[in-house]
Amino acid sequence: MKTRARLPAAPRVGRAKAAIGGLLALLVLALPAAPAVAGDIRATVRDRDGKPVADAVVVVVPSGGAAGAGTPPGVAEEDQRNKEFVPYVLPVQAGTRVLFPNNDNIRHHVYSFSPAKTFELPLYSGTPTSPVLFDKPGVVILGCNIHDWMVGYIYVSESPHFAKTGADGKVTLGGLPGGDYTLRVWHPRLEGSEQATAQPLAVPSTGAVDAATTIGLTPDFRARRAPTPGRGGY
Amino acid sequence: MAAQIPGSCWSSRPLHAAGALLKRAHSALPQLFAGRVSMTRFVAHQVIVFVALLLVAIQLVTLLALNWAVSENARESVRKEVEVGRRIFVRMMEDRTQQLTTAASVLVSDFGLRQALMSSDHATIVSALNNHGARIGAAKMMLIGLDRRVLGETAAHGNNGERPAFPFAHLIADAERKGAASTIALIGHAPFQLVVVPVLAPVPVAWVMVAFSVDNKLAQDLGLLTGLDVSFATWGRERGWNVAATTLPPPGASALLGALGPPAGTAVPPIAPDLLGADFLLSAAVLGREHEGAVVAILQDSLRDAIARFDGLRVILLALAAFSLGATVAGSLLIARSISRPVSALAEFARRMERGEYDQGPPETRSDELGELAASFNRMRLAIAAREQQIKSMALQDALTGLPNRALFNERLQQALGLARRVAQPVSVLLIDLNRFKEVNDTLGHHVGDRLLCEVAERLRSVLVRASDTPARLGGDEFAVLLPTASAAMAGATAFKILQAFEAPVLVEGRQLDVSGSIGIATFPEHGDDPNVLMSRADAAMYVAKRKRMGCAVYDVSFDTEVENHGRLSLTGELRQAVEEDQLVLHYQPRLDLASGAITGVEALVRWQHPVRGFVPPDQFIPFAEQTGCIREITQWVIGRAFEQCARWRADGLALQVSINLSARDLLGAELPQRIAELLSMHGASPQWFLLEITESAIVDDPARALETVTRLHEMGFGLSIDDFGTGYSSLAQLKRLPVAELKIDKSFVLDMAHDPDDMTIVRSVIDLAHNMGLSVVAEGVETDEVRQLLHHLGCDCLQGYFICRPLPAAQLEPWLARDAAQHGTTAKET
């Protein structure tokens, strides 16, 4: 299933004529099963126009205390398919190791200059044997040194409670112990800082609470995709 | 656009040059022709000046037209060049921006650079900027964070930890919108082209500004491409204008800077197209305006240079004009001279002909029309010369005899006198008149007369052996001989030789003609030193010689009066008039018959009672009348009157025999007997009443004809008498043949016979001879009684003379006769 959608872009950078298109599989992050005494957060992210925002990461941090122990971080995968990072936005908990399997028949050179994780996977094909550890919370912007238009985001969360909105702008965080939380939203095209989106949220022990967040989006900015033989578009 | 054409400054140049050239030509041409100024030269001059002026005018018009076209063309082409150059410039700047942007983008895409820039190590960042900036020839590079603060820049020394704000924030904003941005701005005071591109990792994580120098190299590159002069001027509010880069040479740059003016105002002053004046067209574009300063591109093209591109053409045209002018003038000169020189030569030739110099032909022969003209001139010269020669010979030569004529004779005489005056030598002139030539002409015809004249001329030639002696025929039967260096005596000898040469008779058509002439001689200097005087004196001498039958005479002063008197009566017309108007009268001189002592006859003598001059003695007009032929009219008048008078006397009972003189010419006229017969019948006269006296010489001239006439008269019944006997050359044989009854002894013998024994002897002999031949004898010139007695004693029959009676008019004669009859008791009786 392939869906054509507007992709999130980095804030403040925009190139109007560069319409960025891509295929994005909408993934619902599979979270570990929550204990019975837990509440859910049904989060909705919309832009100022009221349109649902996909690929927005919703993070919930317990108020006042530590994030609390969750399930230990495992290994995530950020694929490169058809010269695109898949998924476009990959939220992971700090300490997660991410594999970058190359599903294209060409080589890629994945890098990141982001302060949260600077790394480089020089030209390779197939799946590198060792995954990359993302142990520092923050946003890691992924690029390919060969293909300028390839961009991907790994959101490294300090909290174990996070999820990514779907195409309807909604996501449900379940299994949270009841209590007060702070909810934040991040998006590649988020206007302003992530902290600015913080909002307190009381999560009941059982049941669900709705959280609606409206965020501003900067214009989409994606590098122009190089023409591919056999394909007329981008 | 500049409205004024800068061509005016040079358009006047050829005008001045041409004017000066003309002036020089004007002053030079007369010099060229000086010394030989003539009409033809002037024509040549005119031709040259006209041609030169025409050519100069044409060339001036051409140059002016070219000038106008050039300046128009140049202006238009410069305008187009500037316009095109401007478009090229704009396009080139766009391309350059694109190229620089691309170059910057590519540069910034470099992974290593990005790695370095993202390293957060300032020194690394600066080093990388330096390194990579050098790759694309950037003058400066700057790394700017997303927060628009400068993270690092080239040429930055050290890191003081501050992160200054990026001065061209709007470029970042521009680049955010468009992916990249560019402008031209001042950094410090120098202009740079700035390009801002994002550092993509892969989304923009920072900005890099790349600055490229706007320098002379750029200006030159653009200048080469646009074909214009390209200048980059910077303007600052405080510093004013500065020319940062230019293709102009230093003077042009300072001129531009000067034109841009001092710093003024708060904004960039506008730049007008005519900022640099009329000589330049200019286009300006503000390339960037930042803060307090601006960078302006100024494109300019020189109109003067554009016009100067035509300088070569103009130089060629001027050279062509000068060459064609020179060639035309030279050619005109050559042609004009080639025409005028032969024309002048022909004119000179014509002047020579005018002066009568025919010996030289036209100077040069050509094959063109002038040559034909010269040839015609030459033919004309030859024809004129020939005709003049003919005319001259006709004018100076006697056509009949071939002798020089009067004109030539006079000329030679003049020359001879001129020479004689210088060398003090004599010159003599002989004037020869033929005797009785008229008679020959009248009786024998002109052709005979002409032959006679030719013969005379021939004889003259034969006598004159000296080349300098010139015989001439002056007209009619009058000849002259010029004897240079001959004295009167020598001339006399020559005259004698001439007379001798005349002695032999001339044979014409079987007739023997006797030639005799009378020669007058006058000699320079004793008789005159003027040709006219000499000739008139020779003439006088000739007359005297003729009248006195002297053959020849040398002039003497005493001749003058005679000739003068004679000369005055020498008009035939006057004499004829005398006959017609009865100015003549007859006087009668009585003749005494010695035997009877009575007056038995009278001699009729003609007298001329001239209405003005009075009485003219016969010896002053009779010879002239004889010479001119007028004597025949006179003789007839005399005969008629004598007949009439005698008839009257006879009617009155006075039986006088009347003697009438006939001249030699009368005898030569065959019509005389007939005429006398008519007169006889008219007056009822009888021949027996008359004695016709003929001179001895009349018979000598043409004895045959004279004899014939005399014989006829005798047959008519006239008595005949030989007049002036003893002076002629008649032979006794002739005398014997003549039917005469009487001899008249010439008075030259009688006058002095009383004292001259020779005369006495002659008279006696003649009387004896006459008596022996049965003739009676009459003596003329009896002026004394002594002579009368002598003659009486000698047996002379009749006497005539002043002792008897002078000639008397008829009216006086009759009383005298009556007195004489009464005195002597005898008178003529009717027989």
Domain that holds residue A170: 1-26+36-67+166-219
Residue appearing with tokens 């030193």: B529
Q: How would residue B31 be classed by pLDDT, with cut points 50, 70 and 90?
A: very low
Tell me the three state secondary structure of residue B310: coil
pLDDT score at B796: 92
Instruction: Give the helix ranges, DSSP H, for B248-403.
Output: 250-260, 303-308, 311-354, 369-396
Helix (H) or strand (E) holding B713: helix B703-716
Decide if A192 touches B, using CB distance below 8 A: no
Q: In this predicted model, which residue has the larger pLDDT, B616 or A198?
A: A198
Structure-token pair, residue B479 = 């000849």
Beta carbons of B432 and B485 less than 8 angstroms apart? no
Name the residue type at position B476.
G
Side-chain half-sphere CA neighbours of B547 within 13 A: 19
Q: What is the pLDDT of residues B376-401, one digit of tens each?
A: 888 888 888 888 888 877 778 888 88
Is B198 in contact with A113 (Cβ distance < 8 A)?
A: no
Mutation to test the A interface, candidates B203, B207, B208, most A Cβ within 10 Å: B203
Question: What average pLDDT does the structure give for chain B?
Answer: 82
Tell me the three state secondary structure of residue B690: strand
Mean pLDDT to the nearest integer, B584-608: 89
Report if residue A230 sits inside a domain: no
When mean pLDDT is compared across A10-24, A175-189, B184-198, B437-451, the lowest value belongs to A10-24
Beta carbons of A155 and A186 less than 8 angstroms apart? yes
Is B201 in contact with A141 (Cβ distance < 8 A)?
A: yes
Residues A124 and A182 in one domain: no
Of A10, A15, A114, the CB nearest to B179: A15
- Min Cα separation A190/chain B (Å): 13
Q: What is the pLDDT of residues B607-630, one digit of tens each?
A: 888 776 677 777 777 877 776 667
The CB density around residue B513, as the number of other CB atoms within 10 Å, is: 20
Point out the domain boundary residue: A158, A176, A197: A158
Which residues make up the CATH 3.30.450.20 domain(s) of chain B?
99-304
Most confident stretch, A28-32, B320-324, B800-804? B800-804
Of B111, B114, B204, the CB nearest to A13: B204
Beta carbons of B269 and B208 less than 8 angstroms apart? no
Is B118 in contact with A221 (Cβ distance < 8 A)?
A: no
Q: How would residue B773 be classed by pLDDT, with cut points 50, 70 and 90?
A: confident
DSSP assignment of chain A: ---B-PPP--TT---TT-----B-------PPPPPSS-EEEEEEEEETTS-B-TT-EEEEEESSS-----SPP-EEE-EEETTEEESSEEEEETTEEEE--B-SSS-EEEEE--TT--EEEEEE-B--SSPEEE-S-EEEEEEESS-TT-EEEEEEESSSEEEE--TTSEEEEEEEPSEEEEEEEE-TTBSS-GGGG-EEEEEPSSEEEEEEEEE-BPPP--PPPPP-TT-S--
Complex ipTM tops 0.90: no
Is B176 in contact with A14 (Cβ distance < 8 A)?
A: yes
Given a cut of 60, whether residue B9 has pLDDT beyond it is no
Q: What is the DSSP letter of B188?
A: T
Which residues make up the CATH 3.20.20.450 domain(s) of chain B?
594-824
Which residues make up the CATH 3.30.70.270 domain(s) of chain B?
397-568
- Min Cα separation B258/chain A (Å): 45
Q: How would residue A100 be classed by pLDDT, with cut points 50, 70 and 90?
A: very high
* C-alpha distances in Å from residue B364, one per residue of B36, B43, B336, B566, B703: 19, 21, 16, 64, 72
Buried b (16+ CB within 10 A) or exposed e, B642-678: bbbbbbebbeeebbbbbbbbbbbbbbbbeebbebbee
CA distance B482 to B672: 42
Distance, CA of A76 to chain centre: 12
Which sign, positive or negative, has the C-alpha torsion B85, B90, B94, B96? Answer: positive
pLDDT score at B572: 56
Residues A60 and A74 in one domain: no
Given a cut of 60, whether residue B39 has pLDDT beyond it is no
Report if residue A232 sits inside a domain: no
Report if residue A18 sits inside a domain: yes
Which sign, positive or negative, has the C-alpha torsion B675, B677, B681, B687? Answer: positive
pLDDT score at A24: 32
Decide if A8 touches B, using CB distance below 8 A: no
Decide if A173 touches B, using CB distance below 8 A: no
Report if residue A229 sits inside a domain: no
- Nearest of A74, A101, A76, A108 to residue A89 by alpha carbon: A76
Buried b (16+ CB within 10 A) or exposed e, B358-370: beeebeeeeeeeb
Beta carbons of A150 and A83 less than 8 angstroms apart? yes
Buried b (16+ CB within 10 A) or exposed e, B186-215: bbeebbbbbbbbbbbbbbbbbbbbbbbbbb
Chain B residue numbers touching A116 (CB-CB < 8 A):
none
The reply to whether CATH 3.30.70.270 applies to domain B397-568 is yes
Residues A126 and A56 in one domain: no
Decide if A22 touches B, using CB distance below 8 A: no
Residues A82 and A3 in one domain: no
Given a cut of 70, whether residue B671 has pLDDT beyond it is yes
Q: How would residue A43 be classed by pLDDT, with cut points 50, 70 and 90?
A: very high
Is A143 in contact with B115 (Cβ distance < 8 A)?
A: no
Residues A72 and A152 in one domain: yes
Mean pLDDT to the nearest integer, B742-760: 88
Given a cut of 70, whether residue A117 has pLDDT beyond it is yes
pLDDT score at A37: 62
Q: How many domains does chain A have?
A: 2
Is A111 in contact with B201 (Cβ distance < 8 A)?
A: yes
CA distance A134 to A117: 7
Report if residue A202 sits inside a domain: yes
Residues A13 and A125 in one domain: no
Residue appearing with tokens 């801002």: B196
Residues A151 and A72 in one domain: yes
Report if residue A225 sits inside a domain: no
Given a cut of 90, whether residue A186 has pLDDT beyond it is yes
Structure-token pair, residue A14 = 């925009």
Q: What is the CATH number of domain B99-304?
A: 3.30.450.20
Q: What is the pLDDT of residues B217-254, one digit of tens each?
A: 999 999 998 888 899 988 887 788 888 899 988 888 88
CA distance A187 to A155: 9
Is A221 in contact with B115 (Cβ distance < 8 A)?
A: no
Q: How would residue A54 be classed by pLDDT, with cut points 50, 70 and 90?
A: very high
Point out the domain boundary residue: A133, A158, A183: A158
pLDDT score at A152: 92
Distance, CA of A190 to chain centre: 12
Beta carbons of B344 and B41 less than 8 angstroms apart? yes
Is B204 in contact with A16 (Cβ distance < 8 A)?
A: no
Chain B residue numbers touching A150 (CB-CB < 8 A):
202
Is A10 in contact with B203 (Cβ distance < 8 A)?
A: yes
pLDDT score at A160: 87
pLDDT score at A16: 35
pLDDT score at A9: 40
pLDDT score at B362: 76
Q: How would residue B279 be classed by pLDDT, with cut points 50, 70 and 90?
A: confident
Chain A residue numbers touching B204 (CB-CB < 8 A):
10, 12-13, 221
* C-alpha distances in Å from residue B130, one per residue of A219, B127, B142, B218: 33, 5, 9, 21
Chain B residue numbers touching A223 (CB-CB < 8 A):
200, 202
**Number of helices (H), then strands (E), in chain B:** 28, 26
- Nearest of B495, B715, B742, B784 to residue B603 by alpha carbon: B742
- Nearest of B492, B501, B470 to residue B538 by alpha carbon: B492
Chain A 195-224, residues with CB within 8 Å of chain B CB atoms: 221-223
Decide if A116 touches B, using CB distance below 8 A: no
Residues A54 and A80 in one domain: no
Q: What is the pLDDT of residues B302-334, one digit of tens each?
A: 888 777 777 788 788 888 888 888 888 888 778
CATH code of A89's domain: 2.60.40.420
Residues A101 and A123 in one domain: yes
CATH code of A14's domain: 2.60.40.10
Chain B 151-180, residues with CB within 8 Å of chain A CB atoms: 176-179
> Of the CATH numbers 3.30.230.70, 2.120.10.10, 3.30.70.60, 3.20.20.450, which one belongs to the domain with range B594-824?
3.20.20.450
Mean pLDDT to the nearest integer, B268-296: 79
pLDDT score at B282: 82
Q: What percent of chain B has pLDDT over 90?
A: 10
Q: In this predicted model, which residue has the larger pLDDT, B549 or B384?
A: B384
Most confident stretch, A9-18, B148-157, B168-177, B282-291? B168-177
CA distance A64 to A67: 9
CA distance B523 to B426: 7
Given a cut of 70, whether residue A7 has pLDDT beyond it is no
Residues A73 and A138 in one domain: yes
Phi then psi dihedrals of residue B726, to 5 deg:
105, -15
Decide if A146 touches B, using CB distance below 8 A: no
pLDDT score at B15: 45
Q: How would residue A31 be classed by pLDDT, with cut points 50, 70 and 90?
A: very low
Mean pLDDT to the nearest integer, B168-174: 88
Point out the domain boundary residue: A109, A136, A158: A158
pTM (two decimals): 0.48
pLDDT score at B51: 81
Residues A93 and A52 in one domain: no
Residues A137 and A204 in one domain: no
